[in-house]
Structure 1
Amino acid sequence: MNALAQVPADFLAALGTLREARCRSELHLDEIPAPSRLAPYAVALGAEVIGPAPAPGPAAVHGPVSAALVRAKGSRTEDDEELATGRFILLYDPNGSAVWDGEFRVVTYIRAQLEPEMGNDEMLGSVAWTWLVEALENHRAPYRAAGGTATRVLSESFGTLADRPGTIDIELRASWTPASPDIRPHLEAWSDMVCTFAGLPPLPEGVSPLPRRRRN
């Protein structure tokens, strides 16, 4: 019996829905090693949005960093930088979990650099959480038992690195229990969140993102 035959049918079905997700073309998504101690079965995806470094000017009107046209991954230049990064992990325990209130659990992480004026906003954490809730609702991704933390990370340089300007990053760690094994809308909602953190404007109403292939 091969290893695939030993994987529960419900988890295989959930993996199938992940492959059907239609994420924004600016998002580069790849499978990464999944944690082995959180659940008997797990899959993890890493995401990044790469684009030109924000130019000095007015503050962004949407998202933590200035909106920019993101180049394709293959055309990245030395002037490009990582606008946002994240991880999406799907956990599955056939026996269920009282903490999760279900058999599946989505665990996510997003990090992006902030505009200085936004980094000092006391409401930043609640705004980031609101973005997540709205993204799940917009994609009709039913969930329960959601929780998370938003953290501002201040970096200062000293000594031979003193010329480097200080930076402020936002980190959002969140998890929730999908109400069904259909994980596609949850991944699509989270991918929109990563793009929001990168400062990309939302897609116009009626415009669908281009489908992207992910590695198996």
Structure 2
Amino acid sequence: MSALEQVPADFLFALGTLRQARCRGELRLEEIPAPARLAPFAVALGAEVIAAGGPAGSRAAHGPASAAFEPASGSEDVELATGRFILLHDPDGSAVWDGEFRIVTYIRAQLEPEMGNDEMLGSVAWAWLVEALENHSAPYRSAGGTATRVLSESFGTLAERPNSIDIELRASWTPSSPDITSHLEAWSDMVCTFAGLPPLPDGVTSLPRRRRQP
């Protein structure tokens, strides 16, 4: 029996639905090594939102994105947010998951100091997750997560670096079916929200931004 024949049909179906997801053009998405000990079967995707500058008048909502999209003379890319999307599958099911599948995610983005000091930041981050899943009609249950603020201070030879505040969201939930398309689309929108990019109007598809010439 080949290795492919040993993969459960439900997991193969789920992988196919991931390939059908339509994610925003600002998101760079690629497959990365999946954790081996969390479930018998797993697939992992890594994502990052990179700004290479934008046209005049383009403005992001918060964080480094708010400055990165202003015209500038340099051509250096700016990382606005990163994340991981992991799909786990156990054919025998899991009482902890309340199902045979589990989605585990991680997102991190740098914020402006004013927003990073907001006591409601964790609640806002969780609300972004719930709203994204609802907006994409992604059915789920048994959701849980942790939002963390990370303050970075530099000393000694690095003392000139400005302090920064990052937001991290670790979350997981159980999809109601093996169709994961809407879940990946919801998560990709959430990564863009963390990056400070404004939501797209209904019916509008984002276009990749051109790299500025030095």
TM-score (structure 2 length as normaliser): 0.88
Q: What is the aligned length? A: 200
- In 2, the alpha carbon distance for the partners of 1:190 and 1:198 equals 12
Percent of aligned pairs with the same residue? 79
Corresponding residue of 1:187: 184
Corresponding residue of 1:57: none
Change (3 A) 1:97 1:63: farther
3-state SS of the aligned residue for 1:144?
Answer: strand
Structure 1: 5+ residue runs without aligned partners?
A: 55-59, 71-76, 212-216
Q: Is the 8 A contact 2:51 2:65 kept in 1?
A: no
CA-atom RMSD in angstroms = 2.1
Q: Is the 8 A contact 2:65 2:80 kept in 1?
A: no
- In 1, the alpha carbon distance for the partners of 2:18 and 2:60 equals 31
Structure 2: 5+ residue runs without aligned partners?
A: 209-214
- In 1, the alpha carbon distance for the partners of 2:52 and 2:125 equals 23
Corresponding residue of 1:10: 10
2:12 partner letter? L
Once the two structures are overlaid, the 10-residue window that deviates more, 78-87 or 88-97, is 78-87
Superposed CA deviations along residues 18-63 of structure 1, whole A, max 9, x for unmatched, are 0000000110000000000000000000000111489xxxxx8735
- In 2, the alpha carbon distance for the partners of 1:210 and 1:137 equals 24
Matched, 1:206 2:203: yes
Corresponding residue of 1:106: 103
Corresponding residue of 1:153: 150
- In 2, the alpha carbon distance for the partners of 1:63 and 1:132 equals 17
Superposed CA deviations along residues 187-213 of structure 1, whole A, max 9, x for unmatched, are 0000000000111110112214579xx
1:44 partner letter? A
Q: Is the 8 A contact 1:29 1:45 kept in 2?
A: yes
TM-score (structure 1 length as normaliser): 0.87
- In 2, the alpha carbon distance for the partners of 1:118 and 1:53 equals 22
Change (3 A) 1:34 1:204: same
Corresponding residue of 2:212: none
3-state SS of the aligned residue for 1:48?
Answer: strand
